[in-house]
Amino acid sequence: MHRHSPASDGDNLVTEMSKLRRLSKLDYEKTRMSKKVTRRDRAAMLSFYDEKMAKGDKRDDILLRLSAKYGKSERQIERYIQQARKERQEVQEGQVGRVLVTDDRHRALTLHFEAVKKTMGVWVEKLRLPSDEELRDAWKGNLNGWGVIAKVTPDGHGSARPAMEKHLFYDSLQHHLVPPLVEEGFWNEVGELNSLVLSFLSGVVDIRKDLCQAAERQSGFGINSGAWEKEPVTGITGDFVQTLYEHALGLTDFSGWTHSTWAALWPMTGGLIITQTGEGLRLIQRRGLDPSIQETYWPLTGGSFMLPRHSRERIAYGDARLDSMFRVAFLLCFGMKVIATALLLEQLVLPGEAHRAIMADCASWQSATSLVQTRQRLDSLSHEVRTALESAVCETSFPGKCTRCP
């Protein structure tokens, strides 16, 4: 039997006491470290946490590493991070508040100049050149181009205003876009744009009227309203004048376009058939359809027509049926445009001669050449204004003072 000696019992007691002292020291160290978690430590925890999360590290791993470093539980680390976020936000809000208080006018002026720059950017967009498609319809009396909105009424009255006129900051631009930021004559050029656009639109409306009068006078026909698509009529169409108008203003290149004549048939069942003039004459003479001609069916959409592509083709549109009675007339075409219609083929001779003659002359009319020159001047002038604005928009501050300046 083994017996414990008093000495051995004393040794064991000393060992246990030493362990307790070491544990107490560790607890003290942890307690001491916990007191060292300062505001800077919390900010460092937040920075480390956000950096590692941005790199794709796992949240639990990050918290574990911070826990080991600072001797705190993961739950405590989370609270420190939340507290650091709040402290950061308070600092940022305090800084903004101080800036607004100490330099409020400087900030307001900066915001004002930003609004002025945005307004100039809007103006640059509105200075766009009108497309040829828009100018094809300008004779109707409305035009929005070169930074100007213009209108001319049928009785000849007109008005023009800057497209920017109703913009909230347009009046501010008039006070800030001054020398040396822009040339001395900048606003004179803006005013010239307005007057030139109105002059151009008025000229466009007038030349369209002149072309209508010349077309009716030389062709011997009045202008029909497109009713030929539904029934036989006699007259020149809107496209007779429109092609002359586009030629006079240089909007469309008609080189290679030719004149041609066709027969048009309106079956009693509805629809429309365009065929060879010879077949139209056969029907007028009651000899029936030409058996050598084959029909192609085509949908009737948007007033767009396809003419027969060769001498053995007729085009049937819509609900046209060949086994019904037909009403017959003849068409004069320019390219794919129907420009005149008549009940008799020989009636189309004079409109054809008139269209060729006016086409040869109208582009050289003084009014036409003047409009072309005015358009070129408008293109150049709007480019100068746009260039000045694009240069000014790069500035950070502007001379002058407007009613909205702080």
| pLDDT tens by residue, 243-284 | 999 999 999 999 999 999 999 999 988 889 999 999 999 999
With 90 as the cut, is the pLDDT of residue 181 above it? yes
The answer for 303, left when phi > 0, alpha when psi is -120 to 50, beta otherwise, is: left
The answer to whether residue 33 sits within a structural domain is yes
Residue ranges in 180-255 assigned as alpha helix (H): 186-219, 238-248
pTM for the whole structure: 0.71
Last residue of a domain, one of 101, 129, 151: 101
Least confident span in 23-32, 155-164, 271-280, 390-399: 23-32
Residue 252 lies in a domain: yes
Q: Which helix (H) or strand (E) holds 342?
A: strand 337-342
Residue 177 C-beta-side C-alpha neighbours within 13 Å: 29
Using the predicted structure, report yes or no on whether residue 214 has a pLDDT greater than 90.
yes
pLDDT number for residue 270: 86
Indicate whether 41 belongs to any domain.
yes
Residue ending a domain, choose from 101, 122, 142 = 101
Whether 83 and 224 map to the same domain: the answer is: no
Q: 294-298 and 313-317: which strand pairing?
A: parallel
CA distance 391 to 244: 41
Alpha-carbon distance of 162 to 174, in angstroms, equals: 12
Residue 193 belongs to some domain of the structure: no
Number of domains within the chain:
2
Question: Alpha-carbon dihedral of residues 356, 361, 364, 365, nearest 10 degrees?
Answer: -120
Nearest to 197 by CA among 363, 368, 362, 379: 379
pLDDT of residue 105: 81
- Position 374 pLDDT exceeds 90: yes
Tokens of 160: 């023009």
Do 338 and 219 lie in a common domain?
A: yes
285-321 confidence digits (pLDDT tens): 999 899 999 988 877 665 567 889 999 999 988 888 8
Which has the closest alpha carbon to 198: 250, 132, 147?
Answer: 147
Domain assignment present for residue 192? The answer is no
341 within a domain of the structure (yes/no) = yes
Q: Domain for residue 160, yes or no?
A: no
Domain range enclosing 96: 6-101
State whether 88 and 214 are in the same domain: no
pLDDT of residue 7: 47
Edge to edge, what strands does the sheet with 148-152 contain?
Answer: 142-145, 148-152, 158-162
Share of the chain above pLDDT 70, in %: 86
In this structure, what are the phi and psi dihedrals at residue 352, rounded to the nearest 5 degrees?
A: -65, -45
User: Is 188 a member of any domain?
Assistant: no
Which of 101, 129, 149 represents a domain boundary (last residue)? 101
Cis amide leading into 130 (omega within 30): no
Lowest pLDDT segment from 85-89, 124-128, 290-294, 397-401: 85-89
